[in-house]
Amino acid sequence: MVCICTKCKVITFTRGMSPINHVYSINTTPLERVQSIRDLGVVSDSKLTFNEHIATITAKAFSVLGFIRRNASQFTDIYALKALFCTLVRSTLEYASPIWSPYHVAQVISIERVQRHFVRFALLRNLPWNDPANLPDYAARETTNNAIEKSENYSNAIA
């Protein structure tokens, strides 16, 4: 197997003020040290705050929401809009969320801004909406998702 050293990076995860930095190398080629790295779609920074990841996914979610707003402006079926939102936007926001689950209020607010923009888009069109004030917030969805994942892992472990 051939190793492409230019694609290899080094990151040190610590919350300390002065991390221990060592120069790592492969075949006498020193590896680049980075402050954040993307692995399996999750951006991890050296302090594990996931601020960069949350900024990235909310920007992507707003981009997709803009696509929905431009192309579904003539839709009258609220269920079609909700299906588009859940499929394209919410799946982006909730991908691998047990790993980077936000614990700061500012992070949760930035994620919930996307949902509020969608609700405003749906309500300004005078569509029939059962109870727009009763949409589950991010923390409730996160708790539900974690419970479902734990039950799936438990059933897989038994089988």
Answer whether residue 45 is part of any domain. Answer: no
Q: What are phi and psi of 16, to 5 degrees?
A: -75, 160
Place of tokens 């990235």: 56
pTM over 0.75: no
Answer whether residue 24 is part of any domain. Answer: yes
Domain count, the chain: 2
Shared-domain flag, residues 56 and 27: no
Q: How far from 34 is each of 17, 31, 37, 45, 63, CA to CA, in Å?
A: 16, 10, 7, 9, 27
DSSP character at residue 29: E
Shared-domain flag, residues 83 and 147: yes
Shared-domain flag, residues 28 and 78: no
Q: In the chain, what percentage of residues exceed pLDDT 90?
A: 21
Shared-domain flag, residues 30 and 65: no
Cα-based torsion angle of the residue sequence 128, 83, 91, 153 in order, rounded to the nearest 10 degrees: 110
Of 2-6, 65-69, 100-104, 131-135, give the lowest mean pLDDT range: 131-135
- Which one is predicted more confidently, 151 or 43? 43
Shared-domain flag, residues 83 and 32: no
Q: How confident is the model at residue 157 (pLDDT cuts 50, 70, 90)?
A: low
Residue-wise pLDDT tens digits, 101-128: 888 888 888 988 998 888 888 877 654 5
Answer whether residue 44 is part of any domain. Answer: no
Answer whether residue 147 is part of any domain. Answer: yes
Residues 6+ apart with CB under 8 A from 9: 31, 32, 33, 34, 37
pLDDT at 18 over 90: no
Shared-domain flag, residues 60 and 138: yes
Q: What is the mean pLDDT of the chain?
A: 81
pLDDT at 55 over 90: yes
Two structure tokens written together for 90: 């919410």
As a whole number of angstroms, the distance between CA 115 and CA 117 comes to 5
Domain of 82? 51-158
19 touches 45 (CB < 8 A): no
